[in-house]
Amino acid sequence: MHKLLGEPSNIVSVVFIRLAVGLIFFTQGILKYIDPHMGVLRFTRIGFPYPNFTAHFAGAFEIGCGFLVLAGLLTRLASVPLLIVILTAIATTKIPELWRPNQGFWFMVSDARTDFAMTMSLLFLIGVGAGAWSRDAWLWGEKPHEAS
């Protein structure tokens, strides 16, 4: 079976990573629709072309894939677009801080801590899968037997 659709690990505690990643992306996606400062206006300030479209496009992936990660359904596959979203966010909002006056490396490191945590968590989910308490495990007939 292909790695992105393969069996999840039997680790129960992966549910905590899924909850953190899924909730953050799901709620940030909703915010892109309901708060212009988090959506269209932010994308305009960053300089994205067609900010109305790109903010809602990114928000749609964050809502849809965030929900799938929360549910533990197609978790590895859903993590890939989220990884693209977060890497784009780092490239367009965090890396430029290195060259802004009164910001620099330590400011960027502090500002990027959540993005870094989400990136590492998504890489973890792509590698390990949804864990034993997930729809993926149910689909594959796995039963949780490890209390990690």
Domain ranges in the chain?
Answer: 14-139
Contacts of 99 by beta carbon, 8 Å cutoff, 6+ apart: none
pTM: 0.86
DSSP string, 43-81: HHHHT-SSHHHHHHHHHHHHHHHHHHHHHTSSHHHHHHH
Mean pLDDT of 48-59: 96
Mean pLDDT of 28-52: 95
Bridge partner list, 146: 11
3-class state of residue 148 by DSSP:
coil
Do residues 46 and 91 lie in contact, with contact meaning Cβ atoms separated by under 8 Å? no
Question: How many of the other CB atoms lie within 10 Å of CB of 65?
Answer: 27
Per-residue tokens: 93: 């909002």
pLDDT tens digits along 102-111: 999 999 999 9
Distance from CA of residue 34 to its chain's centroid?
Answer: 19
What per-residue confidence (pLDDT) applies to 144?
53
Does residue 143 surpass a pLDDT of 60? no
Per-residue tokens: 8: 């999840």
